[in-house]
Amino acid sequence: MAGMGYDMAPTLLSWQIERYIPLRSDQKALVDRHLVQFQAWHRSTQLPRYSKALGEIDEQFRGPTDIANVRAVRERLPEFWGPVAERMAEPMAELLLTLDQGQIETMKKKFIRANEKQRAQFVGNSPREREAARLKRVQERSEFFLGDLTEQQQAELKRLVAALPPSEDSWMAEREARQQRFIALAERVVANKPSREQAARWSAQYLATMWMNPDSERRAALDRSSQAGDQLTLKMLQQANDEQRKFLSEKLRTYIKDLNSWSRPRSGESARGVASSG
């Protein structure tokens, strides 16, 4: 049962793509084929890396920690994106080469609707709603990793969250800018009808810089938000009691066990995925 969610990933990702781009039957077949191949590669090459990294994080957080350790965990995340981005470039290019302008216009509208919904949930309609949503997010995340918080910890968390720099507008602007860069890429491919190799190069450029913020002011605001989040995480870890530290370690070790289980190839997967797709 542990691998069921991961085994369903190609289906879920295909559904997610179709949320924004209405695919023709030939396009859906192309997407499904590439997702199966991608999962086979990801299962055999990336999941063991994630498992190793979580093991190292578990060791780090079992004892005393400091801000450098917390920051190092966050700053490791981009290293896992590089191989994924490189692997996705050619399949993305192949799909983009099949799109038409009508599909891109539909995607634009769906991005707008999705962003309106996200803004309502994430930003809210007033400062009070925004603060309440922020506290709920941070408390749920804290309890997910540490288990139930004591009353004293809940009070301290509320104080810490209230002191966080407001960053919701910047995160939303970054999300929207990333979407606009993708739309620009899709329109460039549709308008210029490049070779498959050129489309793959353009896709690789987009993916490689997908999480790099070109807006210096927004980047500075998001950096401040991340650094403040690191400080909050450190304080919650320092206040964690023995039971909560055990809860965190067991949570991480459960993920490691699942990753190790998921990394084992499924029947016939190597032939369809890793061996055939390089």
- The domain segmentation of the chain, as residue ranges, is 4-277
Digit-coded pLDDT (tens) for 9-32: 999 999 999 999 999 999 999 999
pLDDT for res 4: 58
Q: How confident is the model at residue 269 (pLDDT cuts 50, 70, 90)?
A: low
Query: Could you give the CA distance from residue 23 to residue 225 in angstroms, rounded to a whole number?
Result: 37
Query: Could you give the CA distance from residue 183 to residue 20 in angstroms, rounded to a whole number?
Result: 11
pLDDT exceeding 90 applies to what percent of the chain? 77
Average pLDDT of the chain to the nearest whole number: 91
pLDDT for res 229: 95
pLDDT at residue 157 is higher than 50: yes
pTM for this prediction: 0.87
Give me the mean pLDDT over the 239-260 stretch. 96
Query: Could you give the CA distance from residue 96 to residue 196 in angstroms, rounded to a whole number?
Result: 10
Residue 27, number of CB atoms within 10 A of its CB: 18
Digit-coded pLDDT (tens) for 162-172: 999 989 999 99
What ranges in the chain are assigned the alpha helix state H? 4-7, 9-20, 25-45, 47-62, 67-96, 101-122, 127-146, 151-162, 168-192, 196-208, 216-239, 242-262, 269-272, 274-277
Query: Could you give the CA distance from residue 173 to residue 113 in angstroms, rounded to a whole number?
Result: 15
∠ CA 276-277-278, nearest 5°, is: 100
